[in-house]
Chain A
């Protein structure tokens, strides 16, 4: 199983990962807000994630970590 963690405090909600995901599993949160007042990205369906790393490779703030269990 793939586990993807987004460091929400580092995320600036730029949306590049949302665009990069080939399965359209990421979105910018409309409810969460971090200390810098950005709406961070969030994973909508962890089960569907294929661990392709596209989001992590695109993230300018290196706030995505992916592990395979």
Chain B
């Protein structure tokens, strides 16, 4: 009997509390599988965000630390500098990283901290009830922009990968999506590479994953992927924004 697919041991048995079709579950699995496959389970320390993934510490079967809103890169810096042989990663949403934690993530990249950030961009605040995030698209209806987001009044969408690519300290930045099997495999490759770079002692790595929020977007999980392809992709194109370890 050969096991073709089974749950990774880097995830606990606790059932995810996420809404049906939420991509947090897929991303948790990709991160956990990457850690297990690289043999880093005993060395990994994760930082759970504030947001929908606030209970991530209960799902990852590695050492975890909860943090104040948006401050995980700062706390990860402390942990990594005190314990440089550990693999430290932060798991952050767009409200956590792009809004209140914008300063922390920028300076972690500027300093070239040897940590990995998994950034989930779903263009909305999920946990608090669908308010506009810095990554919300122009014209997108949220509970705080009921007539659609207006650039002049509410600001323009923030492009995190493009922003961090300007910093010398950033080592590897890539934006990935999850709408079909091929993209999920590609996303895992990127996440694994980011952990690999950290294990090799390279600089700051951030993987931006385009996530969905079917509940707050007001559609089914499948429609959410269609909406994402149609609306988010033009604003947030996929690809590698920086890879100092690559051939180029």
For B25, give its contact among A15, A38, A61 (CB under 8 Å). A61
Residues of B within 8 A of A15 (CB): 21, 220-222
Q: Are A56 and B5 in touch, CB under 8 angstroms?
A: yes
Residues of B within 8 A of A12 (CB): 19-21
- Within 8 Å of chain B (Cβ to Cβ): is A65? yes
Knowing A19-B222, A54-B181, A58-B26, say if A13 contacts B5 (CB, 8 Å).
no
For B5, give its contact among A16, A19, A53, A61 (CB under 8 Å). A53
CB distance from A32 to the nearest CB of B (A): 15
Q: How far is the CA of A58 from the CA of B178 in the complex (A)?
A: 8
Residues of B within 8 A of A53 (CB): 4-5
Q: Are A20 and B5 in touch, CB under 8 angstroms?
A: no
For A69, give its contact among B1, B18, B180, B185 (CB under 8 Å). B1
For B18, give its contact among A60, A64, A65 (CB under 8 Å). A60
- Within 8 Å of chain B (Cβ to Cβ): is A46? no
CB distance from B138 to the nearest CB of A (A): 28
Closest partner residue, chain A, to B11 (CB atom): A62
Knowing A12-B21, A15-B222, A20-B181, say if A61 contacts B16 (CB, 8 Å).
yes
Residues of B within 8 A of A58 (CB): 26, 180-181, 184
Knowing A12-B20, A14-B221, A62-B25, say if A57 contacts B7 (CB, 8 Å).
no
